[in-house]
Structure 1
Amino acid sequence: MKRQKIAVIGAGARGFLSYMPYVLQHPNEAEIVAVAEPDARRRADFAQTFRLNENQVYLSWEQLLEQPKFCDALLICTQDRMHFEPTMQALRKGYHVLLEKPMSADPLECSLITKEASKRGLLLSICHVSRYTPFWQRMKSLIADGRIGDVVSIQHNENVGYLHYAHSFVRGNWRNSDQSSPMILAKSCHDMDLIRWLVDSECARISSFGSLSHFRLENAPTGSTERCTDGCAVESSCPYSALRFYLQDIKDNPFAKLIADPPSTDNRMNAITSGPYGKCVYRTDNNVVDHQIVNMEFENGATVMFSMCGFTRDINRIVQIMGTKGEIRGDLVKGEIDLFEFSGGIRSVIQTKVGDGGHQGGDDEIMRQFLSDLRDRRFESNLTSADSALESHFMAFAAEQSRLRGGEVVDMKAFRSTSKTASPSLGRQ
């Protein structure tokens, strides 16, 4: 088996912790030959893990891409608004690319990236990792096999989890759309992608409602302070206490290890007292919605209602798919699919494997598939190709436009046409 030579741009939570375990477990499939990472500690840890010398380590993506082409593909895992430039430069140099989602926070840039890859005949795969999980794969196969007939309607709930929401979207890197991207894109482009994939039709019309209703200064409890460590009178009873949340054992709390590197107790305490993760959740510069619904009508007549909410007990996706011959109900965390077929009144409860690793095994599977596609030179019509991702990205952009305009119905045909030549202003949340 020919080993693919890969360079990584962005050695953070996704580029290093999520995707590199597969490479370490399957050294016969890939060789990591370079990294670009501005954080000195992450850069050093990555270089040590893959035994890179100083000539294989770069402080920025610009430095790496200044070099003549030296490997097969790049894995680009920078922040949302830092995807376009390195991806375009990589494609122009002839690199195949595995790009973290979202493709870009700008619909025109998404279109330009897709066109560039197609023009050059290069593999550009987007990290819509959910498509690779056993749960969603089985869901798709049941529909494709006609077990519930034609899809008529879908109700899809994304339960973000109250602590996950507070960590990532109130205090964390995705709290402000001006710095990252709107919630429907940053978090829920997975869901837009899954919906588009399951319905298997172009979206015709879309509308959306939602807001940032709770995590605002006017809702701060009496006696609260700028930081959880400033003598807050309600810290001990606040469900979002940074002290209680981030000082847990990192084995029990995966978010705790992300606020400091290395995540020692002292380093985490320092991050709480001086960084964004110790801010009162009612006093940050956050502006992304904490709840949103999206209504969709597809060209084949199917309708979909999607709901995202940050006020849920667990992190999960719950789905109900109603067809002309049956119904499917699914619980992602349980890996359980409840199939009911109208003919004969037959009910089947299907237990899918809950995969190891991130996103129920999806992180490992997308790496396996990307490396396989490179080896076998399958550069077009891949499961998570840029072409397939572009449509679901447009759905997310259109939903945000609708929300910002009071829920007006967006005609997707007109939106696609406009977005391929100019970027509609989505404004603040």
Structure 2
Amino acid sequence: MAALISNTKSLWRRSVRLKHSSSMDTDPSHPNSNQLVTLAVVGCGQRGKAYSKYALTCPEHCKVIAIAEPRPNTRRNFTNLYKVDKTLVFDTWQDLLAASAETISTIGKRLADAVIIAVQDHLHAEVTAAFTLQGYHILCEKPMATSISDCLQMERAIKDARIIFGMGHVMRYSPYSKEITTIIRSGVLGELINVVQVEPVGHYHFAHSYVRGNWSNENQSSFSLMTKCCHDIDLICNWFSPAVPAKISSFGSLKHFRKSAKPKAAGNATRCLECPIEKECAYSAKRIYLDPVSHGNTGWPVETIVDGLPDLENVTAALKSGPYGLCVYESANDVCDNQVVNIEFSNGCTASFTMIAFTSAICDRQTRLHFSYGEIIGDMKTFTVNDFRKGTSKVHHPGSEGGGHGGGDTGLIRSFVNAVGTKDQTLLGTDIDDVLKSHLTVFAAESSRKEGRVVDCIAFEENARRNSTELNG
């Protein structure tokens, strides 16, 4: 407690020096439109870094002033990069929460205006609820939660607190998607009748994240359609809005990344560094992680498998003892490596979505949108608009603002900061109702896959809410 009080006094002195840069009091409706938006980052890994970069490129709009990160090297590097005061650097989100509670109690102010939540998926609901109770605005990485009950609890918490809420559905916010959305809303091609979208995850990306990595096991995270593609389903739902999903069906399986597919020539080898056919394997951990480092490439995905900056020594150690060095056919993964989803909307229009691991393209979605008077064909970089009535065909080059997902990362964090600064949820173009509905659509798709039936989306949501009410009294 003495340490917390000491921190509180230091924070008060800091707030004076910064001229109340974090000036929002415990009332979430307190106006802040002329203030620098201050951020606390919970989880300083890949996604935490992706959103925080905006504070470096646009320091006049926002500033990272507090962090929580358990890995010491990652925590130190992040602290130095963002020049975070040592009194605002915490090992755990619980420590950050406790310090925040102390400052609210002592000086009547939160540590920051908003919290970026970029911890592992199964923690999203718990961490969001905790900081929401203290009145923080929240930007939560996708998915919002890994169970229906947790999603519904998050909905209630956010509505009760009346905070600004952003969801890591970054695809809505890229210049590419926004330009297509503008065309859809304009009606120049008539009514949008059908969407066909393919998510080519990428062979080594899937092996990294969904076979060896954090999203490989449903019980420890969630099913792959949720962890990888919830923002695809969200984008499709947004394009058809105000129509909503009415019926959904899905098929998929873990087809390849299983022990039965292991090449016989690999013998009893369980790790790539000891495998006799490693050089011939498409999923060689040496090729994916070690070879790039030997050529000076230390970005994704190798940066995610060690604490701190990757080098030959720590990457080799990780491949010898950690999950990223395991043979993909000996890993404990259980999520689908291929899945299709079909949706019928309330207005009779349709969409199909495919997630597939086995591609050379890495997450460059392939999209076809069919209208009553035209079509759009795109690949996340450019798209072609064919207008049947005019007989014209025009290629669009929306460009990118930098950052991941074709500029979607930058677009989301900028929109969130603007929404927090002006207390205007509409600047995000979505709200908790939209976020929850698209998540429930993903849950309904997975229910269809597992149960082998077409699912009524409206009845599915009603049943989910009824079960949640009964469970929570």
User: So what's the TM-score if we normalise by structure 1?
Assistant: 0.94
Q: Which residue of 1 aligns with 2:54?
A: 22
Q: Which amino acid aligns with 1:10?
A: G
1:61 matches 2:93: yes
Q: Which residue of 2 aligns with 1:350?
A: 396
Contact 2:415 2:427 in 1 (8 A): no
1:196-222 deviation per Cα after TM superposition (whole angstroms, max 9, x unaligned): 011111100001000000010111111
Matches within 5 A, 1:124-135: 124-135=165-176
Matches within 5 A, 1:27-426: 27-67=59-99, 68=101, 69-200=110-241, 201-224=243-266, 225-230=269-274, 232-247=275-290, 248=292, 249=295, 251=297, 254-260=300-306, 261-315=308-362, 316-332=364-380, 335-379=381-425, 382-406=428-452, 408-422=453-467
1:309-359 deviation per Cα after TM superposition (whole angstroms, max 9, x unaligned): 000111210111111111111111xx2111111113221111211331111
In 2, Cα distance between equivalents of 1:252 and 1:33: 27
Contact 2:189 2:374 in 1 (8 A): yes
Contact 1:355 1:361 in 2 (8 A): yes
CA displacement at 1:234 relative to structure 2: 1.3
Q: Compare relative contact order (CA 8 Å, sep 6+) and give the higher one, 1 or 2.
A: 1
Contact 1:123 1:380 in 2 (8 A): no
In 2, Cα distance between equivalents of 1:293 and 1:353: 29
Give 3-state SS (helix, strand or coil) of 2:402's partner.
coil
Count of residues paired in the alignment: 418
Query: Displaced runs of 4+ in structure 1, greater than 4 A?
Result: none
Contact 2:65 2:85 in 1 (8 A): no
Moved more, 270-279 or 52-61: 52-61
Q: Which amino acid aligns with 1:347?
A: S
In 2, Cα distance between equivalents of 1:346 and 1:241: 47
In 2, Cα distance between equivalents of 1:272 and 1:186: 24
In 1, Cα distance between equivalents of 2:370 and 2:82: 48
In 2, Cα distance between equivalents of 1:207 and 1:374: 38
Give 3-state SS (helix, strand or coil) of 2:375's partner.
strand
When Rg is computed on C-alpha atoms for both structures, the one with the higher figure is 2
Q: CA RMSD in A?
A: 1.5
Q: Which amino acid aligns with 2:143?
A: P
Q: Which amino acid aligns with 1:50?
A: Y
Q: Which amino acid aligns with 1:20?
A: S
1:166-218 deviation per Cα after TM superposition (whole angstroms, max 9, x unaligned): 11111111111111111111000011011001111110000100000001011
Contact 2:66 2:111 in 1 (8 A): no
CA displacement at 1:121 relative to structure 2: 1.4
In 1, Cα distance between equivalents of 2:195 and 2:95: 46
1:73-105 deviation per Cα after TM superposition (whole angstroms, max 9, x unaligned): 111101010101110111111111011010000
Uncovered stretches (5+) of structure 2, i.e. residues with no partner: 1-33, 102-109, 469-473
In 1, Cα distance between equivalents of 2:404 and 2:374: 31
Give 3-state SS (helix, strand or coil) of 2:150's partner.
helix
Q: Which amino acid aligns with 1:323?
A: F
In 2, Cα distance between equivalents of 1:159 and 1:244: 20
1:252-311 deviation per Cα after TM superposition (whole angstroms, max 9, x unaligned): 862122222220111111111111111000000001100000010000111111111000
Give 3-state SS (helix, strand or coil) of 2:369's partner.
strand
Q: Which amino acid aligns with 1:395?
A: T
1:346-383 deviation per Cα after TM superposition (whole angstroms, max 9, x unaligned): 21111211331111111112111111111111135732
Uncovered stretches (5+) of structure 1, i.e. residues with no partner: 424-429
CA displacement at 1:71 relative to structure 2: 1.7
User: Is the helix fraction higher in 1 or 2?
Assistant: 2
In 2, Cα distance between equivalents of 1:294 and 1:381: 30
Q: Which amino acid aligns with 2:460?
A: F
Q: Which residue of 2 aligns with 1:427?
A: none
In 1, Cα distance between equivalents of 2:385 and 2:85: 54
In 2, Cα distance between equivalents of 1:134 and 1:124: 21
Give 3-state SS (helix, strand or coil) of 1:78's partner.
coil
In 2, Cα distance between equivalents of 1:50 and 1:340: 46
Q: Which residue of 1 aligns with 2:45?
A: 12
In 2, Cα distance between equivalents of 1:52 and 1:275: 31
